[in-house]
Each structure stands twice: as structure tokens, then as C-alpha cells.
Amino acid sequence: MTETWAKTACILCECNCGLEVLAKDRTLLKIRGDKEHPGSAGYTCEKPLRLERYQNGSHRISSPMRRREDGTYEEIDWDTAITEIAAKLAQIKETHGGDKIFFYGGGGQGNHLGGAHSRALMSALGVRYISNALAQEKTGEMWVDGKLYGGHTKGDFEHSEVVLFLGKNPWQSHSFPRTRPTLREIAKDPARSMIVVDPRRSETAEMADFHLQVRPGTDAWCLAALLGILVEEELLDQEFIAEHTTGTDPVLDLLRQVPISDYAARCGVAEELLRATARRIGAAKSVTTYEDLGIQQAPNSTLVSYLNKLTWILTGNFGKPGAMYLHSAFAAVAGGGAKPKKVTPVTGARIIAGLIPCNSITEEILTDHPDRFRAMWMDSVNPAHSLADSQRFREAMRSLELTVVIDVAFTETARNADYVLPASSQFEKWEATFFNVEFPVNTFQLRPPVFDPLPGTLPEAEIYARLLRELQAADQELLDSLTAAAHAGRAEFTAAFFTALGQNPKLMGLSPYLLHETLGTALPEGQRGAAIVWGLAQICAMTNADAVRRAGFADGNALFDGIIAAPQGVKFTVDEWEHVWNYVRRPDRRFTVEIPELLEKLDELRTAPVPGVSTEFPLVLSAGERRAFTANTIIRDPEWRRRDAGGALRISPQDAEELGLTSGDSVRVITEAGSAETGIEITDMMRAGHISLPNGMGVDHPDHGLVGVPLNELTSLRHKDEFAGTPWHKYVPARVEKV
Ligand SMILES: Nc1nc2c(c(=O)[nH]1)N[C@H]1C(S)=C(S)[C@@H](COP(=O)(O)OP(=O)(O)OC[C@H]3O[C@@H](n4cnc5c(=O)[nH]c(N)nc54)[C@H](O)[C@@H]3O)O[C@H]1N2
Ligand SMILES: Nc1nc2c(c(=O)[nH]1)N[C@H]1C(S)=C(S)[C@@H](COP(=O)(O)OP(=O)(O)OC[C@H]3O[C@@H](n4cnc5c(=O)[nH]c(N)nc54)[C@H](O)[C@@H]3O)O[C@H]1N2
Ligand code: SF4
Ligand SMILES: [Mo]
């Protein structure tokens, strides 16, 4: 076969940098950054260069599998799998109601079209409860965002004078376009400053002008002190506050009372350093902040998200170059479908952005409550590895009447499922993500398949379509008339589709399926898997009409055609900075600064004890550090890793000495939930008392066995945020013993 260069994207983190790949037969021979990609412009880090380890290898599965009584699996054909699964879903819906079928996942770092297709199955079944990984990291922030301005914010880091990274190590974890060049530019420019709040001297902290090396889990005191100083030293932007916010007075009153010296002592950061940091923020023309897992998976996380946002709001760092912004979206990553419920059926936990808190999932299953979930659908996720307390989650899976996993590999989760359905890889089908969060220019890339599906596998679009056909989810007459319209022409189809939806709004939920079955058959050969994007493009063009037009697309049809024609990605919205207020979802376009529940928590900080350690567990384990070669569990082959192949436990020289450890030793890490053996790396990156293990390790591979620590054998469901229910993976009390 000939070698051809094709355009695609990296699937290992949410940046989705554009790639060009040299493909031959079924392999990825060479991989390089795509200079034509509108967001990454040729940039990549070291991780995608051997994506071949994802695409091919003994981890891939190529037949549907059914679990036997004894826990082993047998291969079955697709027809059998679809018929049996559809029958069981229908029976559970009939007996217990569709709301007892829980959907988890629907996409990872590179693939969101499968999740979009799954919406049609949910709609047909009457599913009401869903969740995904966002509900173990971002839902606290989302709750705060909802109260403040009703949208998602990000920063214009590239042009920012001062950037603040809060529990975020972008050198390794990235998360914004061309991360490393941007960090390097900030670090070398004497007129710009980088502030990092992290107990660890991370690669990013190493580059920073201000490193606030907090005690683990004490960020609330640190940020409260920082805000206290901003208020006390009159470093706020009063004009911005008067013009763009409401409810700010009670917040300022409380911040005036912050005992600054006391809080500095509690978080372990020198007061003078905090004051210098506050002054730098106050004097800057533009400031951006990025909060991530270091605070989102640690004590007081929702409160800390709020304090983070107050830092840039009260200093007027919104809606100008180099500052924070709200933005357009190609399609939503969260959102609970038609009418999301407010609390979970069994434990009454708060549902945020339509998502059940991850730490509640097990408790919604392992109970005899009549409203418990009876079935769980898992697509493109590995919850038996990624959710807190793996042991209990496995028990929960086995107690359900039906569990189905769709994955490319026989994962930890697949090994506990009743049925496992093999998906085509992200290079074998049309794919895209909805991590489109830039402003003033926002981009979207629809990636065509590089290869045909691995024999035996199916793209998710086809899996969901087969199930929905089996369930007879749509009226045949409707399908026939839409198909005829699609063959007549785009204008005819557009009119027919919207007329059908107008006559029966309930069809909205089924539209991914309808598009696949009708428009999909009229698209040029091989493009059927892109049909769903036609629907998303229509919604996007209606929601952001002016910005889409400024990007050069007259309407949804033009946008869809433009997307198909540009496999390197398109700019789908173009804004000016003054348009940013259009994205603030408030009738008065102002920020609602007062959040009473969180002000109460802020006030309680004075008397609340700082999270501490015990004699039984004297160390704090950060369970899930992003390193040079980790990528959740997307790549299972340990030979992919060029460095730190075993995933060592990082420990400070002081702690190592106290425990009598030297380089090369093995240790046992013990927590209240479990224990694991691992090698160590003694490094002064770590603060005394703080240890860390990498994420994404401890998965089983047919040729290499299990390498590294499966972290969630060490975590428990109990430790979680009181508002959002997000786990404290960065704050796991632990002890270490030499073995
Ligand atoms: N290389 C790589 N990159 C990735 C991923 C990957 O698997 N590998 N995963 C992607 C995903 S899904 C996500 S969500 C992001 C996450 O990206 P990050 O949140 O940046 O990643 P982490 O390393 O988990 O945590 C960031 C920092 O929090 C610090 N930290 C620990 N405890 C505390 C604390 O109490 N307070 C503060 N202030 N900091 C603390 C840690 O020392 C660490 O440096 O990364 C994305 N990018
Ligand atoms: N202790 C601890 N736990 C954590 C974290 C931590 O830091 N510490 N981090 C958390 C965070 S931030 C996140 S985002 C989660 C991530 O955890 P999960 O959301 O569970 O996802 P991944 O580990 O990314 O697993 C993705 C799965 O998708 C499969 N896959 C890949 N391509 C395809 C495809 O095309 N189709 C289908 N159907 N499947 C595919 C992969 O084989 C893999 O099994 O983990 C969380 N868990
Ligand atoms: S930054 Fe993320 S998306 Fe870009 S190349 Fe690295 S891992 Fe892939
Ligand atoms: Mo994540």
C-alpha cells in the first residue's frame, strides 16, 4: 500500500493539537504537528509521536464479548450482541423505568461524537441520569460559574501580563494552545510574571516569578489572604466593579475582615510573598488565572474556585486582551439533556450541569432503595480505574442487572461488564471534540478517518444506530421521507428536518440517529459518520449567528460544508473583545458576585481547622500527578513511556531520610482504603510531608502485565467536596513503609 499523509489530531489531552500522520497499511509511520491547524499551528508535545501504541497492539479488541457465569468472556457476533442488549434495555425500561438506566462517559480527550450519538439512545430509553469525568473535577467550578455569569471562562494566556496557575502544572498537563512556547515567553519577558500556587516545585513552578508553596489542601486560606490584601491595600478595580458587577459589597465586607497574617501562617506561605503577589496582580494591565486538579480535587474545592474567580473579577481582569473571557461553544460538553434533575434519586446529592457527582455513583447502586440504578452504560471511559474506591465500584457493577462497555480495549471496566462492544479507534472513524473554548477566535476540527475500521469493530455511530433500529426507535415513514428529502438536496433536507422537529419536538433527542439514517445516506461515500455534525452546525450557527457569519459562514449548512472541506480544522466563530459580554448569561450582563452559601464557608475559614495529618497517616498523597508520559488510560502499552516507565512515587529528601529510604528502594504506600507497592524517586520537587504518584498507570496489558499503581485502589468515596461531591484525589492521607 502507498504511504499517504493525512490530517488528524492528538487524542491525549484536551488541547487536541492538529497532527499530520503518515499512514501505511494499518500503521502510523510518522507523526508531526500540523502547521495548518488553526489552534495549535504546528505545535505538539512529546506525547503523540508514538500514537501507534494506541492505534495498534494486543490491547485492541475486535469482537463483542459476553460475560459467562464464571466471570470469563466469550466472543459473540454483532447481531447477537445487539439483539440481546436491546432486549435487556427494553425489559429494564419496562420493569423499572428508563430513568434507572444510568449513562456514564461518552467521550475522552479526543472523541466526543460517540457521546453525541448516545444521546439518541438515551432519548429512546427515557434516560434521566448521566455523568462523566467532569463530575470528579470541574463541577464545583461549573457551579460557581453558573452563579456568577452562567458560562465557562478561560484566559488569554498568550497575551497576559500576569498569569496565575492554581493547582495547575501546564508544563506537563497543557490545556491551552501552544502551552510550552507561551510559558517560555512569559518566563523570559521581564515585563510579565508567572505566579504558581502549588505545594510542589512543579516544572511550571520552577519557571515562575512567584511560587506560593502552600501546604497541601490549604489553598482556601491562601487565596482568602491574597484577596484580603487586595482589598486592604486598595488594589481592586472599582470602576469595573461599579460598572459590571452586582452584590459585591457583602463580599468586600467579608474580605476586609480576613486575618491576613494568621491565614498566611495557616497555608504556610510567607505574608510578604503574598503581599508582593497581590501587588503584582493589582499593578498588572491584564491578569489570567487557571485553576485545575490541585485545587479541584482537594479540600474546600468549590470555595477555592469561587475565590479564584473573585481574584480576577474584583481586579477587573475580564473582557480585554490578556484577560479572562467567556466564549462560544461548538456543542456543549456537559448538560443533562432535556430536563436534568436537581438531585440524585437515592442519596439526594446535588446534580451540577446535569451530571451526577462521581463519588455518589456507587452509592446510587449499592443499596436496596427502590429508585436505585439497575443498569449502567459506559462508553469511552474506564470508571473501574478512574473513580474513587475501585473495589466498591466493581461490586456496584456486578450488582446491576445490565452493564455494557464500549471501548477499544479490554479495560479494567470491561472486565466487570456483562457485554463489551469493540469500538473502532479514533483514527478509524469521523471524530471531533467539543473542547472549543477560545476567544475571540474559536476553532473546531472534524477529523476524517485515517484508516478503515479494524475488522470486527464498529464506530459508535453505527453501534448506536444498530441498537436504535433494533428498538424501532423511529417511525419508518419519517425515516423514508427524510431520506428522500436528503437525496433531493440540502435545502430540501433542511426544510424537511426542521418541519419534522417543529411538528414533534420530542424528535430532537433522536436527531443524531435520524441524521445518521437519512442525511448520512445522501452524503458522499464514506461521510456517513459526519452526518451528526450537520445538526450540531445548525445549532451552533443559530446560537452564535453573528460570530459564525464573521467567520465567513452564512448559516449552518455553510458551516457544515466548511467543516467537511477543512480536515485541519476551521475558525467557526470570530468575535471582537466588546462582544464578550454577549456570552454573559444574565439579563443585565453583569456578574452576580455574591454567593451566600460560599460566603458562609469563607467566613467559617476563621475557625475551621486546617486539613491536617494523623500519626497513622502522617503524609499527604497526591494521587494522580500529570507527568511527561501519562495520558489518563488512553494508552495502555507501558512501552509508550520514554521516561518514568514504572511511575515512581515522588518523595522529598527529608521524608526519605526520616524513613531511611534511598534511591532505588521499593516502598509500600498505605491509605485507609488500601495499599500498593512502588519504586521511589527522591526529589526536592516535593515539599516535606507531600508525596505523589502519577495518573493513568496501573492498567493491565496482555504483553506487559500491570505496571504502576492503580491509584483508586488507594482512594475512598468518603473524602469529597461538600458542594460538588468531587473527590479529594490530591489529598489522600497516607503512610509509607520500606519493603
Ligand atoms: N501529561 C498529561 N497531561 C494531561 C493529562 C494526563 O493524563 N497527562 N490529563 C489531562 C486531564 S484529564 C486533566 S484534568 C488535566 C489536569 O491537569 P493538572 O491539574 O495541571 O494536573 P495534576 O498534575 O493532576 O495537578 C496539578 C498540580 O496540582 C498540584 N497540587 C497537589 N495538591 C495541591 C494542593 O493542595 N494545592 C495546590 N494549589 N496544588 C496542589 C500538584 O503538585 C500538581 O503540580 O491534565 C490534562 N493533561
Ligand atoms: N486518583 C485519581 N483518579 C483520577 C484522576 C486523578 O488525578 N487521580 N484524574 C481524573 C480525571 S481528571 C479524569 S479526566 C479521569 C479520566 O478517566 P476516564 O474518564 O474513566 O477516562 P480515561 O482513563 O481517559 O479512559 C478513556 C477510555 O476510552 C477508551 N477509548 C479510547 N478511544 C476510544 C474510542 O474511540 N471509543 C471508545 N468507545 N473508547 C475509546 C480508552 O481505551 C479508555 O478505556 O480520571 C480521573 N480519575
Ligand atoms: S499538548 Fe496535548 S493534544 Fe497537544 S500534542 Fe501534547 S498531549 Fe497531544
Ligand atoms: Mo480530567
Average pLDDT of the segment spanning 289-303? 98
Nearest CA to ligand 2 atom 47: 386
- HSE (CB half, 13 Å, CA atoms) of 297? 28
How many domains is the chain partitioned into structurally?
3
Report residue 357's pLDDT band, with 50, 70 and 90 as the boundaries: very high
> Do 594 and 732 belong together in one domain?
no
Mutate to test the pocket of ligand 2, among 53, 634, 671 (most ligand atoms within 8 A of CB): 634
> Do 196 and 317 belong together in one domain?
yes
> Do 597 and 677 belong together in one domain?
no
> Do 678 and 599 belong together in one domain?
no
Residue type, 193: S
Residue type, 675: S
**In-domain check, residue 535:** no
Backbone conformation region of residue 114, classed left if phi is above 0, alpha if psi is from -120 to 50, else beta: alpha
**In-domain check, residue 558:** no
- What's the whole-number average pLDDT of the chain? 97
> Do 598 and 691 belong together in one domain?
no
Q: Is the Cβ–Cβ distance between 251 and 599 less than 8 Å? A: yes
Range of the domain at 19: 1-56
Output the pLDDT for position 3.
Answer: 87
- Residue among 549, 477, 547 nearest 518 (CA): 477
d(CA 514, CA 517): 5
Q: Is 120 in the pocket of ligand 1 (CB under 6 A)?
A: no
Output the pLDDT for position 334.
Answer: 73
Q: Is the Cβ–Cβ distance between 276 and 283 less than 8 Å? A: no
CB atoms within 10 A of CB 68: 9
Output the pLDDT for position 375.
Answer: 98
Check residues 602 and 4 and name the one with the higher pLDDT: 602
Measured in whole angstroms, how far is the alpha carbon of residue 710 from the centre of its chain?
Answer: 19
Q: What is the pLDDT of residues 470-488, one digit of tens each?
A: 999 999 999 999 999 999 9
> CATH number of the domain that 683 lies in?
2.40.40.20
Q: Is the Cβ–Cβ distance between 101 and 91 less than 8 Å? A: no
d(CA 60, CA 57): 6
Listing DSSP states for 265-276 in one string gives HHHT--HHHHHH
Q: Which 8-state DSSP code applies to residue 588?
A: T
For 611, the 3-state DSSP assignment is coil
**In-domain check, residue 242:** yes
Nearest CA to ligand 2 atom 3: 386
Ligand closest to Cα of 293 equals 1
Tracing cell 456543549 back to the chain, one arrives at: 332
Nearest CA to ligand 3 atom 4: 17
Report residue 338's pLDDT band, with 50, 70 and 90 as the boundaries: low
Q: What is the pLDDT of residues 83-127, one digit of tens each?
A: 999 999 999 999 999 999 999 999 999 999 999 999 999 999 999
Q: What is the pLDDT of residues 37-90, one digit of tens each?
A: 999 999 999 999 999 999 999 999 999 999 999 999 999 999 999 999 999 999
Average pLDDT of the segment spanning 677-706? 97
Residue 67 backbone dihedrals phi, psi, to 5 degrees = -80, 135
Average pLDDT of the segment spanning 710-716? 98
**In-domain check, residue 357:** no
Output the pLDDT for position 337.
Answer: 57
- Ligand 4 centre from 275 Cα, in Å? 32
Average pLDDT of the segment spanning 173-190? 98
Q: Is 422 in the pocket of ligand 1 (CB under 6 A)?
A: no
Please identify, among 20, 40, 56, the residue that sits at the C-terminal boundary of a domain: 56
- Ligand 1 centre from 624 Cα, in Å? 7
> Do 595 and 703 belong together in one domain?
no
Q: What is the pLDDT of residues 390-423, one digit of tens each?
A: 999 999 999 999 999 999 999 999 999 999 999 9
**In-domain check, residue 479:** no
> Do 288 and 181 belong together in one domain?
yes
Output the pLDDT for position 612.
Answer: 85
> Do 161 and 292 belong together in one domain?
yes
Q: What is the pLDDT of residues 639-680, one digit of tens each?
A: 999 999 999 999 999 999 999 999 999 999 999 999 999 999
Q: Is 293 in the pocket of ligand 3 (CB under 6 A)?
A: no
Output the pLDDT for position 457.
Answer: 98
Q: What is the pLDDT of residues 546-602, one digit of tens each?
A: 999 999 999 999 999 999 999 999 999 999 999 999 999 999 999 999 999 999 999
Nearest atom within ligand 1 for CA of residue 205: 44
User: Residue 189 above 90 pLDDT?
Assistant: yes
Q: What is the pLDDT of residues 458-471, one digit of tens each?
A: 999 999 999 999 99
Q: Is 173 in the pocket of ligand 1 (CB under 6 A)?
A: yes
> CATH number of the domain that 42 lies in?
3.30.200.210
Please identify, among 56, 71, 89, the residue that sits at the C-terminal boundary of a domain: 56
**In-domain check, residue 345:** no
Output the pLDDT for position 108.
Answer: 96
- Residue among 450, 444, 449, 476 nearest 462 (CA): 449
| CA dist 698 → 329, 638, 655 (Å) | 35, 10, 24
Mutate to test the pocket of ligand 2, among 633, 636, 691 (most ligand atoms within 8 A of CB): 633
Please identify, among 56, 73, 90, the residue that sits at the C-terminal boundary of a domain: 56
Share of the chain above pLDDT 70, in %: 99
Report residue 454's pLDDT band, with 50, 70 and 90 as the boundaries: very high
d(CA 464, CA 75): 20
Tracing cell 464479548 back to the chain, one arrives at: 65
- Ligand 4 centre from 713 Cα, in Å? 18
Ligand closest to Cα of 39 equals 3
Output the pLDDT for position 70.
Answer: 97
For 709, the 3-state DSSP assignment is coil
> Do 204 and 294 belong together in one domain?
yes
> Do 10 and 41 belong together in one domain?
yes
> Do 596 and 680 belong together in one domain?
no
**In-domain check, residue 730:** yes
> Do 318 and 182 belong together in one domain?
yes
DSSP β-bridge partners for residue 420: 65, 405
- Residue among 512, 604, 587, 28 nearest 303 (CA): 604
Report residue 199's pLDDT band, with 50, 70 and 90 as the boundaries: very high
> CATH number of the domain that 164 lies in?
3.40.228.10
- Residue among 342, 338, 413 nearest 377 (CA): 413
Nearest CA to ligand 1 atom 46: 173
Lining ligand 2 with CB less than 6 A are: 108, 111, 114, 133, 136-137, 293, 379-383, 386, 406-409, 411, 423, 425-426, 460, 623-624, 632-634, 695, 711-712, 715, 729
